[in-house]
Structure 1
C-alpha cells in the first residue's frame, strides 16, 4: 500500500516529467521559429543597408541607415542599375500580382461553388461522370498542360493581357471537391423546407447555401489568394509586357548574371514588399480561416 510520502513522490515525479515535456516542446517550437524566421530577418536587415555592404558579403544582423532610401527606390523605380531586362517599379508589380491573385481566388471560388452546387443538389444524367472528370484534373497541373494552354491563349489573342494571366488558372478541382463535401453535410430538411417555402434553386443557393459556406469560402480565399500570388511559371510564359509583370517574376529578373549587377538591397526591399499583401490577408482573415478549416458542425 502506498503511503502519503509515496504519493507525494509520485506526484512530484509526474510533475517533473510534464515539465520536461513542456520544455522540450517549447525548445523544438522555438528552434523551428528561428529556422524559418532567420532568412526573413536577414532580408529585413539587408534591405536597410547599401549595396556595397551586402555585395561584400558583410551583412550585419541589425538594421542600417539606408532603409528609407532603399524602399523608396524599390517602390518608385525598381532600382538604378542598368539591366537588359529593364526596370519595373515595385508598386506596379505588386498591383499586377494583387489583381491576378484576387481574380484567381474569386474566380476559383465562384466556379467551384456553382459546380459543386450543381453536382450535389441537381439530378441530371452524367452528374457523377462530370464530377469525376473535374476530380481527375487534380492530376493535371498547369505545368503538364502548359503547352496546349499557351496555344489556346495565342489563338484567343490573350497573350500579354490580364485575362491571359487569370483565365487558365481560375478553375479549381480541389475547391470543387471541398465544397461538394461540405454541401453533402447540409441536412435534407433544409432542402425540403426551402421547397415548401417556394424557394427556387437560386434562392436556396443565395439564402441557405451561401450563408452556411461563409467560413469555408474565407478559408479557401486565403489559400487561393496565396496560390495566385505565388504563381511564377505561367506569368513568366504568358507575359512579356513589363506593364503586366508580377512581383514574383519581377524579382527573379532583378537578379543579374553576376553579383556585380545585382542591387541586393533593392531586391531585398522588393522581397519585403512582396511579403506584405499575403501576410495582411492571412492576418486579417485569420479567424475565418481557422474556423473554415476546423468547424465541422453547421
Structure 2
C-alpha cells in the first residue's frame, strides 16, 4: 500500500452499512487514523454499539426507503460542516423478489438507487472539501451479470438473487464512472472496489450461507471484515486523480470484465434513469 495516507485527522468520513462487517471494520480503521466517523446503519442497537466503540456518531437509515435516505442526508448535512469521504458500503442480497416502499426491486434500490441518491444529496457539501472522495463497494459478481436499463426492477424476468445482485453491481461501476466524468475538474474524485470474498452480513437471509460464514471452514476460506476493508482505506489514501473513475479488484486496478460495465453511453443513460427514479433533476452531461 505504498502511498496510502494513514492519517485522516481533520477529515469527516461517512460509512454506510457500518453496523457490521466491512463497514464496521472500516469505521474503526478510519477512527484509529484520526477521522471523525459518521457510522450509518439500519439497526439502532448495532449502529450505536459501533459508533460508541469508534468514538463516532450513529446515524440510522433504511436504504429500502428513499425517504429514509433523504432524512439521512438532511441529518448528515445538519451535523457535519464538511464531509470529506463518503463510503457507499451498504448492500444486500435477497432470497426472493421484494419491492420497496418506493416501488423498486429491493436489490437494485439498496445497492444502487439509495447510494446514488445519497451521494447526489451530499455532493454540494462534499465539493467544499479540498479533497473529497466517494468510494463505492462493488462485487466481482458484476462480471457474469446483465443490466437492462429499460427494466431495472427486473419485472420482465424470473427473479434470481445472484443475477439481480450482479446487475446492481454493474450499476455501481457505471455510477462510479459517470460520477467521475460529471465532477471532473472539481475537488471530488470517485472509485469502486471488490473487497474479496468476505464473511459479512450481505447474504444474511440465507441460512446456509450464514452457517458457513460462522463456521471454522468459512473463517478459513473467507477474508475477515478487516481484510475486506483494506481496499477502502487504500483508495481513501492514495493520490485521488490516479484512481478517479477506476474499479479495483481488491488492491489491483481492473478494466471491467463485462462489456456493459465499460459502456460510457450506458453509464450516462443509467445516471439519467436513476435520477428520474429517485426524484432528482435529470441533467444530461454536456
- TM-score > 0.5, shorter chain as reference: no
* Larger Rg over CA atoms: 1
- Structure 1 or 2: more helix by fraction: 1
More strand by share: 2
TM-score, scaled to structure 2: 0.24
